[in-house]
């Protein structure tokens, strides 16, 4: 319940300050526009469009998800949070906020992308949805943990994508592979291993996050 209350506080704060939403929307629009302009009249392959989809999502996540902790640090309210809630509550609340933000952001990206790119045609929608859901959960957990680490650093803007890249790389590679399979085939049989990798990634990240967050948060 406390984590949900923290999520509601963050949501109310976000709706008033538009701290993350504005930068996310601008980033999505600019990135998709740049890809559209750079392609021009060229015909790109289906698989390339699938790969670019996750590139847009990766960089959009990098522009908005760090806000969960960076905004608290910049406003000086980190200590206030420490005084009202346990580290577990804080991480759960922030993770819930980032989960909602990631899903909202990625649904918008997916809709825009499928409307604007003719080559982006998913044949196996249920496989794509499984990958999409597990992938979004993984992105949200990893981004929240990395945001808590970089919040106290002086060069947050640069550090966030740099630190995220190696941590999100296995997730992104698996997601690109699964998207390719969802565009290529209508069966599940060849995708179980990749789906299991996504599931394991999410479980490992959530376990590592709750174990590490106490140390990150206190010092």
Partner 1 sequence: MSSFELQAENISKVFGRRLIFKDVDFSCKDNGIYGISGPNGSGKSTFLKIISGVISPTKGKVIHLFGGKAIESEDLHNYIGFVAPYVILYDEFSAVENIRFFSKIRGVNFTKEKLDFLFQHFGLLDRKDDLVKGYSSGMKQRLKFIFALIHSPKILFFDEPTSNLDNSGKEKVYQTVKEESQKNIVIIASNEDSDLAICSSVLELQDYKKTNN
**Between 89 and 114, whose beta carbon lies closer to partner 1?**
89
**Between 75 and 125, whose beta carbon lies closer to partner 1?**
75
Q: Is 46 exposed, middle or buried (0-12, 13-18, 19+ CB in 10 A)?
A: middle
Choose the binding region for partner 1 from 35-43, 72-80, 153-161, 196-204 (rule: CB under 8 A). 72-80
Number of Cβ within 10 Å of residue 20's Cβ equals 22
The closest of 70, 76, 219 to 156, measured between CA atoms, is 70
Q: Is 202 exposed, middle or buried (0-12, 13-18, 19+ CB in 10 A)?
A: buried
**Of the candidates 75, 125, 190, 204, which one interacts with partner 1 according to CB under 8 A?**
75
Applying CB under 8 A, what is the total number of residues that bind partner 1?
A: 26
**Between 84 and 111, whose beta carbon lies closer to partner 1?**
84
| CB environment 119-130: b (16+ within 10 A), e (fewer) | ebebebeebbeb
Q: At what angle do helices 46-64 and 156-184 cross, to 10 degrees?
A: 150
**Between 33 and 80, whose beta carbon lies closer to partner 1?**
80
What is the contact mask toward partner 1 in residues 5 to 44, using x (rule: CB under 8 A)? xx-xx--xx--xx---------------------------
**Between 61 and 96, whose beta carbon lies closer to partner 1?**
96
| Tokens (6 digits) for 58 | 């990766």
Handedness of CA 137, 129, 162, 74 (dihedral sign): negative
Q: Restricting to residues 81-110, which ones interact with partner 1 according to CB under 8 A?
A: 82-89, 93
Name the site residues for partner 1 (rule: CB under 8 A): 1-2, 5-6, 8-9, 12-13, 16-17, 75-77, 79-80, 82-89, 93, 218-219
């Amino acid at each position: 319940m406390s984590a949900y209350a923290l999520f509601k506080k963050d949501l109310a704060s976000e709706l008033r300050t538009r701290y993350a939403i504005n930068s996310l929307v601008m980033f999505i629009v600019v990135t998709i526009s740049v890809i559209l302009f750079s392609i021009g009249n060229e015909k790109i392959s289906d698989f390339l469009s699938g790969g670019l989809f996750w590139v847009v999502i990766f960089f959009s996540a990098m522009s908005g998800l760090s806000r969960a902790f960076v905004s608290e640090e910049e406003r000086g309210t980190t200590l206030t949070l420490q005084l009202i809630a346990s580290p577990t509550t804080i991480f759960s609340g922030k993770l819930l906020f980032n989960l909602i933000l990631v899903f909202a952001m990625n649904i918008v990206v997916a809709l825009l992308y499928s409307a604007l790119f003719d080559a982006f045609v998913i044949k196996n929608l249920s496989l794509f949805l499984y990958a999409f859901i597990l992938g979004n959960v993984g992105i949200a957990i990893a981004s929240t943990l990395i945001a808590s680490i970089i919040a106290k650093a002086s060069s947050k803007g640069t550090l966030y994508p740099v630190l995220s890249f190696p941590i999100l790389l296995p997730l992104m590679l698996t997601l690109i592979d699964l998207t390719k399979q969802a565009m290529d085939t209508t069966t599940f049989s060849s995708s179980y291993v990749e789906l299991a990798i996504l599931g394991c990634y999410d479980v490992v990240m959530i376990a590592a996050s709750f174990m590490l967050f106490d140390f990150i948060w206190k010092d």
